[in-house]
C-alpha cells in the first residue's frame, strides 16, 4: 500500500529571489483558485443572463434567491449599516464552498493549503480591528486590552490573535482532514479490492486485482460527509464567524 499525503504541487518556480517573500512559484493552490474564480464568475454570468422584470425563468429565480439569501444573511447578522459587506461575505462563502467542493472533480482544494485560510483570516482580522478602532478610536481600542484589569493584557492580546488563527486552522483542519480521509479510503479500498479479487485463481484474478473496483461508489458515500457536508459547513461557519466578529467589533 502506497499512500501519499503531501502539500500542493509546485508547477513552476521563478528563478529570482524576492526579499522576505522568497521565490515566486506557481503552485497548485494558485492555479486551482484561478479555476475557482472562473467557475464562480461563470456561474454568476450564466445565472444573470437575460434578466427580466416579469415572467422570470427558473435560472433567474435561483439568482434572485441567492442574492436575497446573501442580503438576509449579512443584514440579519450585522445590521443594515453593513450592507456594503454583502459582496465580501458572499465572495468569501462562494470561494470557500467551491474551493472545498472542487476536490470532488479530482483537483486539489485551495482550502487544503493553510496559506489560503490564513489570508482570509488576516483580512477578517484587519476588518475586525478597523471596526474596533472606528467604534472606539485608537485609544479606546488599545484601552480595551487592559479591561477589566491591566493584569489580563497579555491574555487579551492572545485572545485577539487567537481569533484569526482559530478561524484559519478550523477551516484548514476540516478540509485537510477530509482530504486525508479521502486519500486513506481510496488507498484502503484499493488494498481491499486487490486482496478480494486476488482470491480469484489464475490470470483473471491477477488482472482484476490490479483494478481498484471497490474505489468506485464507496468514496461517493463517505464523500457526502467529508466533502459535501464538511465543505459547506466550514464555509458557512467561516462566514458566520466573520459577520459575527465584525458586527461585535463595531458595537465596541
CB 105 within 8 A of CB 112: no
Give the one residue of 75, 104, 107, 123 binding another protein; rule: CB under 8 A.
Answer: 123
Give the one residue of 3, 51, 142, 204 binding another protein; rule: CB under 8 A.
Answer: 51
Which of 22, 76 has the CB closer to another protein? 22
CB 109 within 8 A of CB 102: yes
Which of 60, 156 has the CB closer to another protein? 60
Q: Is 53 in the site for another protein (CB under 8 A)?
A: yes
Which of 104, 118 has the CB closer to another protein? 118
Give the one residue of 40, 152, 192, 208 binding another protein; rule: CB under 8 A.
Answer: 40
Which of helix, strand or coil describes residue 169?
helix
Q: Is 60 in the site for another protein (CB under 8 A)?
A: yes
Q: Is 160 in the site for another protein (CB under 8 A)?
A: no
Helix (H) or strand (E) holding 43: helix 28-47
Find the Cα–Cα–Cα–Cα dihedral 46, 49, 51, 55, rounded to 10°: -70
DSSP 49: T
**Footprint of another protein on 94-113 (CB under 8 A):** 94-95, 110, 113
Residues 6+ apart with CB under 8 A from 122: 164
DSSP 183-238: HHHHHHHHHHHHHHHTTS-HHHHHHHTTS-GGGTTHHHHHHIIIIIIHHHHHHHHH
- 18-26, 129-137, 211-219, 243-251 -> range binding another protein (CB under 8 A): 18-26
Which residues contact another protein (rule: CB under 8 A)? 5-11, 13, 20-22, 24-25, 27, 29-30, 33-34, 36-37, 40-41, 44-45, 47-48, 51-54, 60, 63-64, 66-67, 70, 86-88, 90-92, 94-95, 110, 113-116, 118-120, 122-123, 172, 176
Amino acid at each position: 500500500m502506497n499512500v501519499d499525503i503531501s502539500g500542493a504541487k509546485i508547477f513552476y518556480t521563478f528563478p529570482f529571489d524576492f526579499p522576505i517573500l522568497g521565490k515566486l512559484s506557481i503552485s497548485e493552490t494558485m492555479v486551482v483558485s484561478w479555476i475557482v474564480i472562473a467557475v464562480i464568475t461563470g456561474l454568476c454570468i450564466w445565472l444573470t443572463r437575460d434578466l427580466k422584470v416579469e415572467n422570470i425563468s427558473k435560472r433567474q429565480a435561483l439568482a434572485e434567491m441567492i442574492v436575497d439569501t446573501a442580503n438576509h444573511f449579512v443584514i440579519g447578522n450585522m445590521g443594515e449599516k453593513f450592507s456594503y459587506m454583502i459582496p465580501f461575505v458572499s465572495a468569501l462563502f462562494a470561494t470557500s464552498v467551491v474551493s472545498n467542493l472542487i476536490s470532488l472533480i479530482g483537483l486539489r482544494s485551495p482550502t487544503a493549503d493553510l496559506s489560503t485560510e490564513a489570508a482570509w483570516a488576516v483580512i477578517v482580522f484587519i476588518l475586525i480591528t478597523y471596526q474596533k478602532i472606528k467604534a472606539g478610536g485608537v485609544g479606546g481600542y488599545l484601552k480595551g486590552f487592559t479591561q477589566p484589569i491591566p493584569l489580563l493584557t497579555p491574555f487579551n492580546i492572545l485572545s485577539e490573535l487567537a481569533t484569526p488563527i482559530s478561524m484559519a486552522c478550523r477551516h484548514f483542519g476540516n478540509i485537510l482532514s477530509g482530504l486525508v480521509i479521502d486519500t486513506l479510503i481510496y488507498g484502503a479500498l484499493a488494498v481491499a479490492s486487490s486482496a478480494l479479487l486476488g482470491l480469484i485463481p489464475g490470470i483473471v484474478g491477477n488482472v482484476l486485482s490490479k483494478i481498484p473496483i471497490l474505489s468506485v461508489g464507496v468514496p461517493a458515500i463517505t464523500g457526502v460527509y467529508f466533502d459535501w457536508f464538511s465543505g459547506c459547513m466550514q464555509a458557512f461557519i467561516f462566514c458566520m464567524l466573520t459577520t459575527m466578529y465584525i458586527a461585535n467589533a463595531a458595537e465596541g
